[in-house]
Structure 1
Amino acid sequence: MLNELFMYTFTVIIAGVLSLFLCFYAQFRLKDAPGVRPYILVALFSAFFTFSYAFELASPSLERIKFWLNIEYLAMPFIPVFILLMCFEYVGQKLKPYLYYILFVIPIITIFMHETNGLHHLYYTSMGLNSDSPFPILKVEHGAWFYVHSIFLFLCLMISIITLLMKLKKAKFRFRMQIILMVSGIVMPIIANYFYLNGLSPYGIDLGPISMSISFIFHGAALLFYQMFNVTPIARDSVFESMKDGVLVLNQNGVIVDFNHAMLDVIPNLKSQVIGKSIVDGYGQLADIIRLEAELDYELCLDEEKTYYHIRFSTVRNKNNKIIGKIITFVNVTERVLLQEQLKNLASMDGLTEVYSRNFFMQESEKMMESLSMTWGKVSVIMFDIDHFKNVNDSFGHEAGDRVLAHVAGLAKESLRSTDIIGRYGGEEFILLLPDTPLIAAYELAQSIRVKITESVTPFMNQEIHVTSSFGVSSAQIMEGDHSQTLKNLMREADQALYGAKRKGRNYVELFEQAFEYSS
C-alpha cells in the first residue's frame, strides 16, 4: 500500500520538479521569444498544481485532502488558457485584446465555484473517501459547473493542438519536431483525464498531475534538443513588430492591410482603425509617392526635427503569380543623408572663408544663368580682391592673413541677398554673381562692400589690421540659349575691370565699360 502511494506521489513530484526547471530555464534563456511568456506561466502554474496534488495524495484525512484540493484549484483552471495563448503566439496568431479577457472568465468562475462549493454544490454534488482504496483517495460526484470547466479545458487543448498541427505541413524538420513534441505534451493530460473521468484510473486517482511528468519530458526534449521557441515557424509578431524599418502592407486596391510598430515613427496617426482604409485618404505627399511607387529618400519633419527614410516597394503575389498587394518599407537613412550633406558641404564650401569653392560657385552660377535665360533677365558679376594681401602675410604671418580673408568674406556675405552667390575664386580673390541686378545696382553694392572693408579692422594678437579692396563689375542681359558663354564673358569682363581698378590706385570700384575705354 505504502509502495503504491509512494510511486504515485514520487511521479507527481517529478512532474513538479520538471515543470519548475523548465519554467526557470525558459525565464532565463528564452524569455523574449514568441510564446515563451505564456509557457513560463504554464510551467509555473503546473508546478504549483502538481506539488499541491502531491500533498493531497499524502494527506491522511478528508479535511486535509479538501484543503489541498482548494489550493490546487487556484492554479489549475488557468493552465489550459496559458497553453492556448502559448500556441497562438508560437505560430504568430494575434488575438484581439478583448478575447484575452474573455478567455479568463471561465477559469475565474471555476475557482469561485470550487471554493464556494459547500454553498451550492454546483461543482461537486458530494465528496468523500474511496472505500476501495488502500490509502485515502478523494471520491466525488461532479456537478454541472465541473462539466462546463471540463468542456472549456478540452476545447482549449484541442484548439491548441489544431493550431499547431495546421503549421506542421509547411514546417522544416526542426520545427516539425518542435510541433510534434509540443502536441504530444498537450495530448497527455487529455488522455489522463479521459481515464480519470471514466473511472479507469487506479483507485480513482486523478491522473492529470501524474501525466504532466510525461508532458514535461516532451517539452524538455523540445526545448533542449530542438530549440523550441528559439526560432519559430511563423513568428509574425516577433519578426514583423521588432523590425526597425517601418513596413506598410497594402492590397491590390491600395487599401491598408497591416503595418508594424515602426511605421508610427513615419505616420504617427496610424491606428488600428486605418486597417481597411485607402492610403490616399489624408496622407498627402506620401500617398502620391506610394501611388507612383517612387523609390526615393523621403524627408519627414516632426517637431522641427528632420528624419529621412528611403522608401522601397515590393509586390506580393499569390500562387498563380497574380499581384495581390505590395509591401512598402521605410528604411531610416538619416545618418547616410546627413553624412552626404556634410560631404557635399565640405566639397562645395571653402573651409576658411565659408563661401562657395570655385568649382561649386561655377556649378551654381550655371544653374542660375540657365534659369535667368528663360526670362531674359539681367545679371551682374563682381570680382574683388584684397589690396597688397602679400604684405599682410609678410608683416603679420599667414594666420593673420587667414583671419583677414575670413573677415572680408564675412563683410561681403552680410551685404548679399539670399539669391546672390559668392565664391572664393582663388587666393585673396572673390567673385559674386547677382541675378536680376542691373549694372548700376551692382556698382552700388560693390561700393558698399568696399567702404565696409575700408572702415573695418581685423583684430589679431592685440593688433588691428587694416586692408582695402579693389572691385571690377560687369553686367549683361541673358539671352535664351547662350547663358554658359555669357557667364564666361561676364567673368572675363569683371576681371579686366578689377585690373582697371588696380591701375587707378586700388581701393576702387571699376565698371567694365570704363576699364574697356581706359585700356583702349
Structure 2
Amino acid sequence: MNHIADMYSLLLFISTIIAVGLSIYSIKSSPMPGSKYFAILCGSVAIFSFGYGMELQSESLKVALFWNKFQYLSGPFIGLFAFFLAADYTGNKKLLKSKARIIVLLLIPFSITIIRYTNDFHHLYYTSVLYTSNGFFNILIKNKGPLFTYYMLYLSFIMIYSSVIYLKTIFNSSSINHVPISIMIIASLLPWLSIYMNISNTAPFGIDYSAILLCPSAILYMFGIFKFRMLRTIPIARNTVFHHSKDGIIILDYNENIIDYNEAAVLIFDQLTDKYLHQKIYNLLPELMERGTLRGENESFDFSFTKSGIEHYYSLENIRLNTENDYTLGWIFIISDITKLVNNQKRFEVYATIDDLTNIYNRRFFIELFNQEINSAKKTKDPLCLIMYDIDFFKNINDKYGHQAGDEILRYVVATSKACIRATDIVARYGGDEFMILLPETKIDDAIALAERIRSQLEMGYCIYDNHKINITSSFGVTGFENYTTDLSVEVLINEVDKTLYQGKSSGRNKVTFRSLTQATSGS
C-alpha cells in the first residue's frame, strides 16, 4: 500500500474523530431543533468511517470482510437519521408522529444489515467478493446483487426526500432563513454523490467515497443547526403555529389543489385525509363552488354544516399568496369555529325578545311587533284588536304562598292563554302580572269572545304549587278597530286598553270589559 492509501485512511480516521467530537458537542449543547438526531447521525458516521478505514488497512480477504460487515452496523441507518434530522429541524413533527411509519422506516435499514450479514448464504447482496490491489489501495471488488440495488435505491430516496423537506421550508420562510437551510440542503446532498458513483461504478480507484463525504456533510449540518440557531426561530415558530393553531389551516397551490393542512382542519372536516391532497378544494368544501372560482383579492365568508346532529358554524378567511409581481402562488384558508359565537348571538337575540320566566315575548319586542302589525293593518285595512289582562289580587297570592308560587301562577296563566289563541296571535308579558294579546285581522266581537274564553278557563281551573291548589281569576280589557284611521297608533291602542282594564276592575274583577275606538260600551 502506498502513501496515497495511507493518507486516505488517515483522513478516514480523522473523520471518525471529528464525527465523534461533533456527536459529543451536540449532546452537551443546549437542545436545538434537529440536534438529537444530529448526535445519533454523527455517531453512525463515526462507526462507518472507522470501519471503512480499517477495511482499507486490511491485508487479507477475511479481515477486509469483517470490517466491511462492521460498517453495516451503522451505514444503512445514516440516511434514515438524516431524514429524522430534516423533519425535526424544519418543524415537520407530523412526519415523526406515526409509530407505524417509524417502524417501517426502521425495518428497512435493519433488513439491509441482516441481508449483509447473511450474504454468505444467499449471495443476493454481493454475488461474489474478491480481494485485490489496484496499485493504490487494497480493495474488495464486489459484484453487486439485486439486494444491493435495493439498498442504493432506499438511500437515494431517503436522502432526496430529506432535501425536498428543506426545499419546502425555504419556500415557506423569509429570506433571512435561506442561508442555514441551504447549508442543510448541501449537507444532505453531498453523500448522494458517493451513492451515484457506487451505482454507476464510476468511483475513482474503485473505493467508496461516502465515508469521506459524510464528514464534511456532518460539519455543514453542525453549522446549519448551531451556528445559525437564532435564524431558525422564525420558520420553526411559523411551523409550530401552523400545527398547533386552534383554527383550521388549509394551503392550496395556484391550481386550487390542497397541498397541506393542519390537525385543526381535520377536526373541522372529519373526512379530510391525505386522499384529498392534490385534489380541488371544492371536493372538500362545495360551498366554494356556489361562490365561483377563487378571486385575486382576499375574502371571507361564513358557512355551516351538521355534525352528529348538531349544527356547527365556521368563518373562512381566504388569503392569497402572491409574489412581488402580484403572481398568484396559492391560497391559505383559515377556518375558525364560530359555533359558540353564533349560538351566543342567537341566545342573546332570544333574551332580547323573550321573557325568561314565562317564555313568551317581552314588552320591548311586543311593541316592535305591534308597530309592524298596525302598519300592516294600515295598508290592508284589516281589523286589529288588543287584549290586556292581569291576575286579580296577585300581590295577596305572593304574600300568602311566596314569590315562587307567584312565578308558577304566571307560567300557568301563560299556558292557559296559549292554549286558547291562534298561531297568528301574539301574546306577551307586558310587566309584572300584566299580559297583552295582539289579534291581527280580528273583529272586536271575536276578541271579546277570546278574552271571555281565557277568563273562563282560568276561573274554572287552578294552579298546583307545593301541594296547594291555588284558584285565580283575571280581569280583561279589550279594544280595537275595524278600519284604520290616521289618529290610531300603538300608543293610542295601549292607552285605550289600559283605561278599559282599569274601568273593569273598578266595577268588579274577574270580568271582560271592552271599548271600541269608535264607541264605548261595557259588558261582562
Regarding TM over 0.5, the answer is yes
Q: Do the aligned residues in 1 keep the contact of 2:132 with 2:141 (CA within 8 Å)?
A: no
Cα pair 1:56 1:64 within 8 Å, conserved: no
1:75 & 1:419 partners in 2: Cα distance? 83
In structure 1, how many angstroms separate the alpha carbons of the residues matched to 2:449 and 2:28?
A: 84
Alpha-carbon distance change, 187 to 68 in structure 1, aligned in 2, over 3 angstroms: same
Out of 343, 346, 351, which is 1:338 matched to?
343
SS at structure 2 position matched to 1:143: strand
- Conserved 8 A contact 2:259-2:278: yes
Aligned mates of 1:443, 1:369 — CA distance in 2: 19
Q: Which residue of 1 aligns with 2:355?
A: 350
Greater shift in the superposed pair: 147-156 or 453-462: 147-156
Does the 8 Å contact 1:56/1:65 carry over to 2? Answer: no
What residue is the counterpart of 2:261 in the other structure? 260
Cα gap change, 1:49 to 1:138, in 2 (>3 Å): farther
* Structure-2 residue corresponding to 1:517: 521
Structure 2 counterpart of 1:176: 178
Paired residues of 1:23 and 1:44 also in contact (CA < 8 A): no
Q: Show the counterpart of 2:139.
A: 139
For 1:216-270, what per-residue CA distance to the aligned partner results, in whole angstroms no more than 9, with x for missing partners? 44434433443389546599976656543345667899x5555735455555556
Is the 2:258–2:281 Cα contact (8 Å) retained in structure 1?
no
The aligned amino acid for 1:69 is N
Match of 1:321, SS state, is coil
| CA RMSD of superposed structures (Å) | 5.5
The SS at the match of 2:360 is coil
CA, structure 1 residues 459+292, in 2 after alignment: closer, same or farther (shift >3 Å)?
A: farther
The partner residue of 2:511 within 493, 508, 516 is 508
The answer as to whether partners of 1:53 and 1:68 remain within 8 angstroms in 2 is no
Conservation of the 8 A alpha-carbon contact between 1:348 and 1:360? yes
Unaligned segments of structure 1, at least 5 residues? 31-35
Provide the residue aligned with 1:12 in structure 2.
16
Q: Are the counterparts in 2 of residues 310 and 333 from structure 1 also a CA contact under 8 Å?
A: yes
Superposition deviation, residue 385 in structure 1: 0.6
Tell me by how many angstroms 1:491 deviates: 2.9
Aligned pair 1:382/2:381, yes or no? Answer: no
* Farther off after superposition, 332-341 or 162-171: 162-171
Q: 2 CA distance for matches of 1:48 and 1:354? A: 74
Quick one: which amino acid aligns to residue 380 of structure 1?
Answer: C
User: Is 1:80 aligned with 2:79?
Assistant: yes
Residues 412 and 72 (structure 1), Cα distance of their counterparts in 2 relative to 1, 3 Å cut: farther
1:498 is matched by which residue type in structure 2?
A: L
Return the letter of the residue paired with 2:47.
F
- Classify the secondary structure of the residue corresponding to 2:358: coil
Is the 8 Å Cα contact of residues 15 and 49 (structure 2) preserved in structure 1?
Answer: no
Q: Which letter maps to 1:404? A: I
Q: Check whether the contact 1:248–1:256 (CA below 8 A) recurs between aligned residues.
A: no
- Which segment is superposed worse, 228-237 or 376-385? 228-237
Matched, 1:497 2:500: yes
Cα offsets for 1:446-493 (capped at 9, x unmatched):
3333233323444456644332111123344687x98x9554444334
Q: More displaced, 231-240 or 430-439? A: 231-240
Per the TM alignment, residue 408 of structure 1 is displaced from its structure 2 partner at its CA by 2.6
Shift of 1:358: 1.2
Question: Distance in 1 between the 2:438 and 2:186 partners?
Answer: 82
TM-score normalised to structure 2 length: 0.69
Aligned partners of 1:320 and 1:259: how far apart in 2?
A: 24
How far residue 430 of structure 1 moved from its aligned partner, in angstroms, is 1.0
Pick closer, same or farther for the CA change 1:69–1:472 going to 2, 3 Å: farther
Q: Distance in 1 between matches of 2:134 and 2:286?
A: 79
Q: 2:427 aligned to 422, 425, 433, which one?
A: 422
- Are the equivalent residues in 1 in contact too, given 2:45–2:214 (CA < 8 A)? no
1:452 aligns to 2:454 (yes or no): no
Distance 1:68 1:379, change over 3 A: farther
**Corresponding residue for 2:129?**
126
* In the alignment, structure 1 residue 70 sits paired with structure 2 residue 69: yes
2:416 to 394, 411, 420: 411
Please state how far the C-alpha of 1:315 moved relative to its aligned partner. 4.4
Q: Distance in 1 between matches of 2:259 and 2:152?
A: 37
What residue is the counterpart of 2:3 in the other structure?
none
Match of 1:33 in 2: none
- Separation of aligned partners in 2, 1:21 and 1:376: 93
Alpha-carbon spacing, 1:518–1:511, altered in 2? closer, same or farther (3 Å): closer
Equivalent position SS for 1:244: coil
CA 1:474 to 1:64, structure 2 compared with 1: closer, same or farther past 3 Å? Answer: farther
Change (3 A) 1:485 1:109: farther
Change (3 A) 1:329 1:494: farther
The one-letter code sitting in structure 2 at the alignment partner of 1:306 is E
* Secondary structure of 2:510 counterpart: coil
Matching of residue 223 in structure 1 with residue 225 in structure 2:
yes
Separation of aligned partners in 2, 1:296 and 1:131: 73
2:367 equivalent in structure 1? 362
